[in-house]
Amino acid sequence: DYASHSPHVEALEEHLLTVLADITPQAASIPFHSTTHPIDRPTDTTTLNSTYWYDNLRQPVHFHTTLTHLNNTGHTTYIET
State pLDDT tens for residues 41-68: 999 999 999 999 999 999 999 999 999 9
pLDDT of residue 23: 96
* pLDDT band for position 8 (cuts 50, 70, 90): very high
Q: How many CB atoms lie within 10 A of CB 50?
A: 16
Contacts of 62 (CB under 8 A, 6+ apart): 35, 36, 38
Give domain limits for the chain: 7-72
* pLDDT band for position 1 (cuts 50, 70, 90): confident
Task: Judge whether 55 and 36 are in contact, CB under 8 Å.
Answer: yes
pLDDT of residue 81: 76
d(CA 35, CA 41): 12
Task: Judge whether 47 and 39 are in contact, CB under 8 Å.
Answer: no
